[in-house]
Chains A and B, each alone.
Chain A
């Protein structure tokens, strides 16, 4: 019970600070909307599909997964600022649960990501995207797991490197191949065999396939449960690793 109480204390504080500075909503939504308006129209001919709705079915889930990965991986910057201000140290001398120090923050990231995803989904509906509510909720679960994992990883790395100068190139180097090999922008079915082989080792490529299946309405596709399972396992591992660092890390 103490754990839940501690998580909610940290989460509420983080949420309060986030809402105090609503610029992130504008920034967080502006970019994906640009993708929807300026990039998605290229897709119908490029993907060889008949309608815009079909193109969005492929593109929107990829875009959402992209946001979850990138949004999460760059959360570590905020933590470094908190480390520098002494806020983390101040928390660590109290009996607060170390898992809560991490999860309170990661859950805030997850909630803000889902808020972003809802806005984007609503906009895509205006572009004739159609998706079943149940499937959509499962897709959001997938996004939540991705965001939980990537933000935990980012916090963990931030606690290890302790400097923005090291975190930025590190995260970019990790994120770029993950992005290219996940079939986010274009499905990997268009890739040559060797590239597909490499992509199979990218867990996010499973997440993207699963999310696409859900948007297609193909709930029974093995991609769905496989993607969810892989993301859940990785999220648990990432959270456990980063929480350990919150307990141990110096300064």
Chain B
């Protein structure tokens, strides 16, 4: 449904008098199958939004090719626009308009007749549970309601692919769960959903497949389960007083490990076997121990092993 090869984009940023070229996206290859929820995971500034904006025809790639829903992005952006929906991160509604007005206008911009636009809007308002507020001005909506209007605007023309840029950022947990349901419903209606997020749990729970992006490049792709399985074994997290972290790291240097402010993480084949050995090594070195926990690798661990940084910290 979406196929890209070597997609690139750089910007010129000005700092004082100095001009600097920032390579926001450096050669992105993607394969998104029809009917999946595809997640684009990465820290802020990784190039997710830039990639999305290129795919949505809002900015032109410097290099590379892309085919979206059968239309060529470079050769026929107009056709791509007809086949996709795009929901920007920052919202898209006007304070003094009502949701129904916005939806009718959007449907008409996509070419629908007035009657068609009205009936589609009514239908979409119903399915997003917005009918009750449909004729109130957008400025009176809650964050979650307004976000649902944004998504409704993005799919009013029944696109085959919809791009959602960080659809749950800034929402409370309940609205977030609600939004996940909406996204799953879109897929159930036959849409391919391309979503960006910097929430690990969201990528894990919602997406069929993900690509992890860092520094303008894709560092890993696959189903969340496969990616986690790639990291063999278990993760042992040892909580320590801040002053003891470096002593612990040297006592445990035989293991593959990452140090943090108040803990170290060790990647081991079998946690149950490793924990007693770890405890003994720390004891022998006289390192005071805080806590010790064993867990299966998370997507954060995937990110960590691929980039050397934790997603939570970047």
Q: List chain A positions with a Cβ less than 8 A from chain B.
A: 6, 9, 13, 16-17, 20-21, 82, 84-87, 89-96, 250
Contact = CB atoms under 8 A, between A and B. Distances in A.
B96 A93 contact: no
Given A17-B94, A250-B59, A95 B105 contact: no
Give the interface centre of A20, A86, A250 by most chain B CB atoms within 10 Å: A86
Contacts of B59: 250
B94 A87 contact: yes
B108 to A, nearest CB: 5
Contact of B106 (A82, A86, A94): A94
B97 A17 contact: yes
Nearest to A101: B109
Contacts of A94: 81, 106, 109-110, 157
Given A91-B109, A93-B86, A250 B58 contact: yes
B58 A93 contact: yes
16 contacts: A9-B109, A16-B101, A17-B97, A85-B93, A85-B95, A87-B94, A89-B88, A90-B106, A90-B153, A92-B58, A93-B56, A94-B110, A94-B157, A95-B82, A95-B110, A96-B109
Interface string B106-148: 1011110000000000000000000000000000000000000
B270 to A, nearest CB: 50
A152 B53 CA distance: 26
B102 to A, nearest CB: 9
B288 interface: no
Contacts of A84: 90
Closest 9 pairs between A and B when the two form their complex, measured CB to CB: A90-B92, A86-B92, A94-B109, A93-B86, A96-B109, A95-B81, A86-B91, A86-B90, A86-B88
Interface range on chain B (Cβ under 8 Å from partner):
20 to 34
Contacts, number: 58
B175 interface: no
A92 B108 CA distance: 13
Nearest to A82: B94
A87 B81 CA distance: 16
Given A13-B105, A94-B110, A95-B110, A20 B96 contact: yes
B190 interface: no
B57 interface: yes
B109 A89 contact: no
Nearest to B50: A250
Interface of B: 53, 56-59, 78, 81-82, 84-86, 88, 90-97, 101, 105-106, 108-111, 153, 157
Nearest to B90: A86
A250 B91 CA distance: 16
Contacts of A96: 109
B193 to A, nearest CB: 16
B81 A93 contact: yes
A82 B53 CA distance: 18
A87 B92 contact: yes
A93 B57 contact: yes
B82 A9 contact: no
A223 to B, nearest CB: 42
Nearest to A21: B96
A6 B112 CA distance: 11
A91 B81 CA distance: 11
Nearest to B156: A94
Contacts of B56: 93
B169 to A, nearest CB: 14
Nearest to A91: B109
Contact of A17 (B81, B82, B96): B96
A84 to B, nearest CB: 8
Contacts of B105: 9, 13
Contact of A89 (B58, B78, B85): B58
A43 B140 CA distance: 50
B22 to A, nearest CB: 13
Contacts of B111: 95
Contacts of A250: 53, 58-59
B250 to A, nearest CB: 49
A235 to B, nearest CB: 25
Given A21-B96, A93-B85, A96-B109, 17 more contacts: A6-B109, A82-B94, A84-B90, A85-B92, A85-B93, A85-B95, A86-B88, A86-B90, A89-B92, A90-B88, A90-B92, A93-B86, A94-B81, A94-B106, A95-B109, A250-B58, A250-B59
